[in-house]
Chain A
Amino acid sequence: DGGITQSPKYLFRKEGQNVTLSCEQNLNHDAMYWYRQDPGQGLRLIYYSQIVNDFQKGDIAEGYSVSREKKESFPLTVTSAQKNPTAFYLCASSSPGQARYGYTFGSGTRLTVV
């Protein structure tokens, strides 16, 4: 089955640590996105990538970094500079020219600072 796989489902981070969230898709989609979801705030765009080796900042990129070395993979690193990282993180993808017609989302990673 084609889809987006996010791992891990739950992640705990200690203060000052960097952690990396994995996102893999087998849909042959060119564009990939990372969103952060907080209660009452909806989905906010962190980073997006439309092609391999290229990515752009979204609305809340500070404290996060990404890479896009392969079409299938778009990992997100939450750095120690992110002051409030506890949230539900969603990865999404879309096919060329179809981004405006909707995303396919992964099942998310819930990150908690301990």
Chain B
Amino acid sequence: QQQVKQSPQSLIVQKGGISIINCAYENTAFDYFPWYQQFPGKGPALLIAIRPDVSEKKEGRFTISFNKSAKQFSLHIMDSQPGDSATYFCAASSRSGNQFYFGTGTSLTVIP
């Protein structure tokens, strides 16, 4: 079954708006949560990541919010730009694991 559940599947936002993508997990052994950005025809690239000892991490216009008790984390893109239009994947891994588990992806379109 899907180890990491991601929503929404697609998102349309006006330029300058806030894009919010949500992910949830069940495995409490997960302790590292990255977000990847993928442009069409390209491989995903690491965007930002968080560990569960903090509730928020910000890098420029991108912020991860993490709720350990709810086992949820989200990506917020402030002042969204057309260049942010891409597919975003959340992921999770555990200290003992050999792989990342990916969400199903969110296709973001930012309208000028």
Chain A positions within 8 Å of B, measured between CB atoms, are 4, 6, 9, 33, 35, 40-45, 48, 50, 56, 58, 90, 92, 99-103, 105-108, 110
Residue pair A99, B98 in contact (C-beta under 8 Å): yes
Residue pair A100, B93 in contact (C-beta under 8 Å): yes
Q: How many residues on B have C-beta within 8 angstroms of the other chain's C-beta atoms?
A: 25
**Chain B 90-112 residues near chain A, CB threshold 8 A:** 93-95, 97-100, 102-105
Residue of B nearest to A9 (CB): B41
Quote the shortest CB–CB distance from B102 to chain A (angstroms).
Answer: 4
Main SS at interface, chain B: loop
Give Cα A48–Cα B103 distance, bound, in whole angstroms.
19
Residue pair B97, A105 in contact (C-beta under 8 Å): no
Given A42-B89, A108-B42, are A100 and B95 also a contact pair (CB < 8 Å)? yes
A sample of 26 cross-chain residue pairs with beta-carbon separation below 8 angstroms, ordered by A number, consists of A4-B43, A6-B43, A33-B99, A35-B102, A40-B104, A42-B89, A42-B102, A43-B44, A43-B102, A44-B102, A48-B98, A48-B99, A58-B99, A90-B43, A90-B44, A100-B32, A100-B94, A101-B32, A101-B49, A102-B46, A102-B49, A105-B36, A105-B43, A105-B45, A107-B42, A108-B43
CB-defined interface of B36-56 with A at 8 Å, one 1/0 digit per residue?
A: 100001111110010000000
Main SS at interface, chain A: strand
Task: Chain A residues near B49: list those with CB within 8 A.
Answer: 101-102
Task: Chain A residues near B103: list those with CB within 8 A.
Answer: 42
Residue of A nearest to B32 (CB): A100
Task: Chain B residues near A102: list those with CB within 8 A.
Answer: 34, 46, 49
The verdict on B80 contacting chain A, using a C-beta distance below 8 Å, is no
